[in-house]
Amino acid sequence: MTRSGPLTMEFRTASGRIVPIEVRRRKGTRRLKLTLGLENQILASVPWRSGDAEVLRFVEKQKAWLDGQLAKAPPAIELCDWLSQVPLLSASGDLFTVRIESAWTRRSEYRFAEGGSVVLLRPEGGSEASLRRLVRNFARDALNCRVAYQAKRLGLCYDTLSVRDQSSRWGSCSARRGLSLNWRLVLLRPELQDYVILHELAHLTELNHSSRFWALLHQYDPARRENERALDALSGQIMRVARSSIAAC
């Protein structure tokens, strides 16, 4: 373990890898707690008055656990790298093949090609930043259409829908009937995307996770248990897509 500068702490794994430690001091926290962030940094939630030396001693005690967690954590990955490995996007209950045109364009755009089976992405300048914006625009269009379809099918009404870059949640529903979804839903298979949408639509009736909520969600999605398990297995990986600092494609 080393200290680099007055504000940054670092952890050295058994393999010699240097991992930043992000210290979050909270007034209501009584115990020190370690988790991994979505960029595979170490998050240390500590009491407000905990000193740096105390934090480092605690991290040292958890060295074996941290080594294990970091070894099995999926890597943070750029969106362009993800789409080159998994060239698929979900929309309208279907899965579309993705093709990225890296030629210089003055305006980012996406369009359907080859009879509607391919989504052609043309990010401005071919950069990672413009690709992220373009896929988020695609997600906004696709998720608005899919939520509207599912709500109409179920006879439900919602107030607003926002598509955002949430840090760890797939979606949420407010007491004012506003829905919010993570743009990364378009990276999931259609049935998992629908599971999240139906989960949030069920909250329009039951704004809780009571037995009534789960019974209602099961009516909306009879395969919800299987879909929930599949989503849990993928969340750590998909949530790490496009989390790192912007780099070139």
pLDDT in tens, the chain (249 residues): 444 333 468 888 888 888 888 888 888 788 888 888 777 788 888 888 888 888 888 888 998 988 888 888 788 899 999 999 999 999 999 999 999 987 666 789 999 999 999 999 999 888 899 999 999 999 999 999 999 999 999 999 999 999 999 988 999 999 999 999 999 999 999 999 999 999 999 999 999 999 999 999 999 999 999 999 999 999 999 999 998 765 555
For residue 44, what pLDDT is reported?
A: 84
Q: Tell me which long-range contacts 174-181 makes (C-beta under 8 A, separation of at least 24).
A: 175/207, 177/204, 179/147, 181/143, 181/147
Domain ranges of the chain: 2-72, 79-238
- pLDDT, residue 56, reads 86
| Fold topology of 79-238 | Zincin-like (3.30.2010)
Helix, strand, coil shares, percent, the chain, to 5: 40, 25, 35
